[in-house]
Structure 1
Amino acid sequence: MTITLTEAAAYEVKDMMEKNGMPDGYLKISVKGGGCTGLSYGMSAEEAPGENDEILTFYGVKVLVDQTDAPILKGTVVDFKQSLMGGGFAIDNPNAIASCGCGSSFRTREVAGTPENC
């Protein structure tokens, strides 16, 4: 399996999708070039899968991962954590060998991406 969405993350995604009028939508998790370290994560709501998307289901949430991004995301766990300062998604990618100080970008041993000045 490419990624795992925890129950807490699935609950949050379901809530967000319903509030945005997309109860039957998909959560797309992607990787793009950029950030201080070279790669950054993307999460978006989609109405339908793309041609190259793998479809996974966690706790009733349909998740899309493009087959191009799958090797970079293999083994990744997406969680939602709540704290006194609010909540947010936490992404734990075992393939990331370096990340920037703010934690919003990363690189893997095989893919360095395209770093930008931060």
Structure 2
Amino acid sequence: MSDLCPRFEKAMQLISKRWVGLILSELLHGKKRFSEMEADLPISGRLLSDRLKMLEKEGIVERNIYSEFPVRIEYSLTEKGEALKPVIQEIQNWSDVWITAEEVKDQAIKK
């Protein structure tokens, strides 16, 4: 029981880091190239790169390099990352029920 809180806290720190949830949600749909994610997400390339490196270090995301010309690099979820699918889906379900459009609009105005 004493290991529960530090493990839970570590998990929450990972998935609550800004943009990580959206990156994971993108990768749940399959492999993506960096440029595809950069185009699909409202995030700078530098920050996206930083988050992908962090997720790769944590063993959640895998970077695959294909020796073609030009070189093709794709990102995908590892088994550990795929295991987050029900978590991400449940957060989406919860937000669909409990987060109103007005709250989202208010949050966007504050930024």
Q: TM-score range by the shorter chain?
A: under 0.3
Higher helix share: 2
Higher relative contact order (CA 8 A, sep 6+): 1
Instruction: Choose 1 or 2 for highest CA Rg.
Output: 2
Q: TM-score normalized by structure 2?
A: 0.27
